[in-house]
């Protein structure tokens, strides 16, 4: 109870509440703009948040993270263009509903399902907290090393049809984390005698280049396009009532979202795919899926929005980010010398609780905002794409230059911008690079400290959690090989693997 009171007192500061409000409303607008996702906004704002208190910076970023998918549903439903990549599945059922004249019903359902998913995941987080506080201290160096390795493995294998590309890019990310002066023996690694490389490649420079500048370049070079006009009439409140009739799907989808969010490297894509498949299999009207099924819409939106809350679990409990956005948040923790991990639950539980409450509040803010301002948002999103590109490039400057006023950083970010543009054009994944960078440095440090007490290889996995993680790694590799063999055997007519659906996050 004392912890809860302390958490409320952390949140009850005007700057925290304003950060939360700006983050949540800004996140909805950013999410609604096709071509700008939460990663772009977070990458730009990241250096600005370093000057804030940790709770202020984190609530601002959390606000954007948690609310962007709400906004992304609007153009997905009304103009068949997902605002963020993870809203792609929402277009399947949302847009056919709009074509039938049920746009307001679809939006209302999407908001309600998103709200349900968001709150559900935070409640799970609160319930799981005591368990986490119990388990987290058992994570030593070996366990964290294995969990980080598991994260890299999962992010690679999650990119079906692009496994080789994801693996080589994850390795590239690990390589980037090793460049510069190595902190133990103080030897230079891959600096090529260049002074600017001695301090290493900054994660924020890479993130800004790959997410923000690449997106700006893509919009600036490509043909101009203005999202179509749309207007919605009718009550947006009806979906809250309708959702009660679809509560089974909403609950199961949110649970899937929570589980997938907790596993590093998996995230929104897998969760919405699994929950959509579940909803279609168990529905009484499976033929309506893809043609305006409210159940399909609820499944994808509830699963999406359950992920951000759950993704905070590995980040807070173990200091392991599961995807690019939590990797960016990790740098906010580091800058303020708050090291997420087992100790956080023991020494700063009120801080963790404050983050949970902020997540609940942001869902409430966003729902209220959306219920009254959907038509206003539809006007805002009609910015021509090349003009939007100009805006992103101008804002990217603040992000990179304010880090250390370095022209070299800006040039490096520009280089990563072109690299990100090529990856986006080729539909190759960006997230493995970021996770490789973050998890790579964690693995290096943890392996070094873990091996100091290991005499035989078996010692590495002689503790229960380490053994479980090791078995999970072997199991996932075996399962992947089995699936590949089965797929190869079943391929009656040779078809290329993968398709043209974009799989970019951000």
Partner 1 sequence: MLARTLQDLFKRYRRPGDIVFAFVFLTFAVFLFSQIGEQTKITKRTKWFAQPGLWPTISISGMVFFGALHYLSSVLSPRIPGRGREVAFWLRSLEFVAYFLIYVVTVPMLGYLPSTVLFAVFLTLRCGFHSTANIGLAILFAFCVSVLFRGLLQVKIPAGRLYDYLPDSIRVFALTYL
* Residue 83 CB, nearest approach to partner 1 (Å): 20
Q: Which of 27, 47, 227, 239 is in the footprint of partner 1 by CB under 8 A?
A: 47
Closest by Cα among 275, 243, 277 to 259:
275
Q: Write down the residue that tokens 């794409």 correspond to.
A: 385
Tokens standing for residue 97 = 């509903």
Residue selected from 21, 220, 360, 476 as contacting partner 1 according to rule CB under 8 A:
220
**Closer of 248 and 379 to partner 1 (Cβ):** 379
**Binding letters toward partner 1, positions 413-432, x by CB under 8 A:** -xx-xx--xx--xxxx----
Nearer to partner 1, 245 or 384 (CB): 384
199-207, 285-293, 329-337, 400-408 -> range binding partner 1 (CB under 8 A)? 400-408
Binding segment toward partner 1, per CB under 8 A, in 73-81, 200-208, 330-338, 407-415: 407-415
CB of 240 to partner 1, least distance (A): 35
Query: Scanning residues 142 to 201, which ones bind partner 1 (CB under 8 A)?
Result: 161-162, 164-165, 167-168, 170-172, 174-175, 177-178, 182, 184-185, 187-192
Please tell me whether residue 224 binds partner 1 under the rule CB under 8 A: yes
Q: Which is nearer to partner 1, 284 or 494 (CB)?
A: 494
State the sign of the Cα–Cα–Cα–Cα dihedral 183, 188, 194, 200: negative
Task: Answer yes or no: are the C-beta atoms of 249 and 295 closer than 8 Å.
Answer: yes
Q: Considering only residues 444, 470, 473, 480, which one is a binding residue for partner 1 as defined by CB under 8 A?
A: 444
Measured in degrees and rounded to the nearest 5, phi and psi for residue 185 equal: -100, -5
Cβ proximity to partner 1: between 253 and 504 the closer is 504
Minimum CB distance to partner 1, residue 315 (Å): 23
Under 8 Å between Cβ of 214 and 478 = no
| Residue 337 DSSP SS3 | coil
CA 494 to chain centre: 34
Tell me which residue of 417, 412, 401 sits closest to 46, measured CA to CA.
Answer: 401
Taking CB under 8 A as the criterion, the residue among 443, 461, 466, 469 binding partner 1 is 443
Cα 241 → chain centroid = 29
CB 276 within 8 A of CB 300: yes
Q: How far apart (Å, rounded) are the C-alpha atoms in residues 338 and 348? A: 9
8 counts as binding partner 1 under rule CB under 8 A = no
Residue 447 interacting with partner 1 (CB under 8 A): yes
Comparing CB distances to partner 1, the nearer of 181 and 476 is 181
Are 329 and 87 in contact by the 8 Å Cβ rule? The answer is no
Pairing of the two strands 180-181 and 188-189: antiparallel
Residues that contact partner 1, how many (by CB under 8 A): 75
Pair of tokens at residue 462: 């002689």
- CB under 8 A: which stretch of 128-136, 292-300, 435-443, 472-480 binds partner 1? 435-443
Which residue reads 């679990």 in tokens? 313
The CA distance from 346 to 137, in Å, is: 9
342 binds partner 1 (CB under 8 A): no
455 three-class SS: coil
Min dist. Cβ of residue 398 to partner 1 (A): 5
213 binds partner 1 (CB under 8 A): yes
Q: Whole-number minimum distance, CB 21 to partner 1, in Å? A: 16
Q: How far apart are CA 27 and CA 169, in angstroms?
A: 28
> According to CB under 8 A, which one of 77, 106, 217, 307 is a site residue for partner 1?
217
- Contact between 410 and partner 1 (CB under 8 A)? yes
Q: How far apart are CA 148 and CA 140, in angstroms?
A: 12
Give the shortest CB-401-to-partner 1 separation in angstroms: 6
Site string (483-502) toward partner 1, x via CB under 8 A:
-----x--x--x-xxxxx--
Give the shortest CB-479-to-partner 1 separation in angstroms.
18
The verdict on 85 binding partner 1 (CB under 8 A) reads no
Q: How far is the CB of 35 from partner 1 (least distance, A)?
A: 14
Taking the C-alpha atoms of residue 191 and residue 204, their distance in angstroms, rounded to an integer, is 19
Closest CA to 211 of 328, 364, 373, 382: 328
Supply the minimum distance, in Å, between the C-beta of residue 402 and partner 1.
Answer: 4
CB of 239 to partner 1, least distance (A): 35
For partner 1, which is the closer residue by CB, 411 or 472?
Answer: 411
Q: How far is the CB of 404 from partner 1 (least distance, A)?
A: 8
Closest CA to 330 of 416, 322, 259: 322
- Using an 8 Å Cβ cutoff, are 399 and 406 in contact? no
Residues 338, 451, 465, 473: which binds partner 1 (CB under 8 A)?
A: 451
CB of 309 to partner 1, least distance (A): 27
- Under the binding rule (CB under 8 A), the answer on residue 411 touching partner 1 is yes
Which of 91, 177 has the CB closer to partner 1?
177
Number of residues that this document lists for the chain? 506
**Does 33 interact with partner 1 (rule: CB under 8 A)?**
no
Which residues, 6 or more positions from 290, have their beta carbon under 8 angstroms from its beta carbon? 92, 93, 96, 296
Nearest-angstrom CA–CA distance, 463 and 354: 33
> Considering beta carbons, is residue 296 or 436 the nearer one to partner 1?
436
Phi-psi region of 295 (alpha: psi -120 to 50; beta: other; left: phi over 0): alpha
């Amino acid at each position: 109870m004392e912890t809860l009171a302390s958490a409320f007192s952390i949140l009850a500061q005007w700057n925290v509440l304003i950060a939360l409000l700006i983050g949540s409303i800004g996140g909805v607008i950013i999410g609604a703009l096709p071509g700008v996702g939460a990663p772009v906004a977070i990458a730009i704002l990241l250096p600005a948040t370093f000057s804030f208190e940790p709770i202020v910076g984190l609530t601002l970023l959390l606000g954007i993270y948690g609310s962007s998918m709400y906004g992304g549903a609007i153009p997905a439903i009304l103009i068949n263009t997902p605002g963020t990549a993870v809203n792609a599945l929402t277009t399947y059922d949302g847009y056919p509903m709009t074509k039938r004249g049920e746009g307001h019903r679809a939006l209302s359902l999407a908001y309600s399902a998103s709200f349900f998913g968001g709150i559900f995941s935070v409640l799970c987080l609160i319930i799981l907290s005591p368990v986490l506080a119990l388990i987290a201290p058992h994570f030593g160096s070996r366990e964290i090393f294995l969990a980080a390795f598991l994260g890299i493995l999962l992010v690679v294998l999650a990119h079906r049809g692009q496994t080789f590309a994801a693996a080589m890019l994850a390795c590239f990310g690990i390589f980037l984390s090793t460049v510069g002066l190595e902190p133990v023996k103080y030897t230079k690694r891959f600096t090529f005698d260049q002074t600017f490389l001695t301090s290493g490649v900054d994660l924020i420079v890479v993130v800004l280049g790959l997410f923000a500048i690449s997106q700006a370049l893509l919009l600036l070079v490509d043909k101009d396009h203005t999202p179509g006009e749309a207007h919605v009439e009718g009550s947006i409140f009806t979906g809250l009532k309708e959702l009660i009739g679809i509560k089974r799907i909403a609950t199961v989808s949110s649970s899937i979202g929570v589980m997938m969010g907790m596993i590093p490297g998996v995230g929104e894509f897998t969760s919405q795919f699994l929950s959509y498949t579940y909803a279609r299999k168990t529905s009484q009207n499976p033929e309506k899926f893809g043609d305006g099924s409210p159940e399909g819409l609820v499944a994808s939106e509830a699963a999406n929005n359950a992920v951000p809350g759950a993704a905070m679990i590995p980040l807070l409990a173990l200091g392991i980010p599961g995807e690019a956005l939590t990797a960016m948040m990790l740098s906010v923790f580091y800058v303020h010398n708050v090291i997420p991990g087992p100790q956080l639950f023991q020494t700063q539980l009120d801080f963790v609780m404050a983050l949970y409450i902020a997540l609940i509040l942001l869902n409430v803010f966003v729902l209220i905002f959306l219920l009254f301002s959907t038509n206003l948002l539809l006007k805002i999103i009609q910015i021509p794409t090349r003009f939007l590109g100009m805006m992103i490039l101008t804002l990217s400057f603040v992000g990179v230059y304010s880090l250390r006023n370095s022209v070299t950083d800006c040039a490096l970010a520009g280089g990563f911008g072109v690299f990100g543009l090529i990856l986006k054009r080729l539909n190759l994944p960006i997230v493995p690079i970021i996770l490789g960078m973050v998890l790579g440095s964690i693995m290096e440090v943890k392996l070094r400290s873990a091996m100091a007490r290991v005499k035989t290889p078996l010692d590495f996995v002689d503790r229960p959690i380490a053994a479980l993680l090791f078995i999970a790694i072997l199991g996932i590799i075996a399962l992947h090989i089995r699936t590949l063999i089965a797929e190869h055997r079943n391929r009656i007519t040779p078809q290329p693997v993968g398709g043209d659906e974009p799989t970019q996050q951000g």
